[in-house]
Amino acid sequence: MKLLTVAEMALRELSRRRGVLVLLLALPLVCYLVRHDQVGQSIRFLLLGLAWAVSTTALFASGTSRHIEPRLRLSGYRSHHLYLGRLVAMWLLGLAVSTPFFALIAVDHAGEVRLGALAAAMVLAVTVAAPFGLLIGAVVPRELEGALILLVTISLQMMIDPADSLTRLTPFWSSREIGTYAIDYTGPEYLVRGLTHGIVVTLLATALVAVLSTIRLRTRPHLRYAPR
């Protein structure tokens, strides 16, 4: 209940930032249109744009909450209500943003790609991006620095040679792998690899967010509550 209230308020807050919503949609769209002549590239860029938009939003959401979470913690929330609530909100938002793009590709490239796998790639991009953005927000207290870190991450992801083994260490590699499976009709090992990578990165990022939030919002040991 508490978790859902946090999620709901985070979504209400974001839904009133019209500019953010427009940019949230514009970013993947631009990525998609820039390479529109090449099906594979345009979809890969779209997936990256989606991940970028969602992680940046999550970064800023954790920034605006930073000053309020201590008082919410005092109002009876546990740390996990706060970070999980925000995570759920970001996932829902990401899925909502993905839907029109999925429809766009389904119309644009009907029959050229595996649509089921494409949907999985999009869901995975969102799934990974939300906790990753929250994680950057938890590690770097200032939003500008956080945004720059995301920019570096995404640039690296875009420019790195796909054959380089280092590419597996980048956070959004999973959606690229599944994207390849969807576009180039490769074998199922791409799908499995991508799913595994995505789930591992999500769990890892979420666990780190949990640890950092719990430390930041811990009840300080000097404060004791008298037994009632």
Name the one range near other proteins by CB under 8 A: 10-18, 34-42, 96-104, 186-194: 10-18
Report the distance separating Cα 131 and Cα 81, nearest Å. 14
Report the distance separating Cα 104 and Cα 115, nearest Å. 11
Name the one range near other proteins by CB under 8 A: 6-14, 117-125, 153-161, 163-171: 6-14
Contact map string, positions 190 to 219, toward other proteins, x by CB under 8 A? -----------------------------x
Q: Where are the alpha helices (DSSP H) in 140-172?
A: 143-159
C-beta of 33 vs 68, nearer to other proteins: 68
Pair of tokens at residue 6: 């946090």
The residue assigned the tokens 């995505």 is 198
Q: Does 159 bind other proteins (CB under 8 A)?
A: no
Least distance in angstroms from the C-beta of 47 to other proteins: 29
Pair of tokens at residue 30: 């631009």
Contact map string, positions 45 to 84, toward other proteins, x by CB under 8 A? -------------------xx-xx-xxx-xxxx---x---
Backbone angles phi, psi at 76, to 5 degrees: 115, 0
Residue 72, Cβ density class (10 Å: 0-12 exposed, 13-18 middle, ≥19 buried):
buried
Q: Does 141 bind other proteins (CB under 8 A)?
A: no
C-beta of 34 vs 68, nearer to other proteins: 68
Report the distance separating Cα 29 and Cα 71, nearest Å. 38
- List residues binding other proteins (CB under 8 A): 1-2, 5-6, 9, 12-14, 16-17, 64-65, 67-68, 70-72, 74-77, 81, 219-226, 228
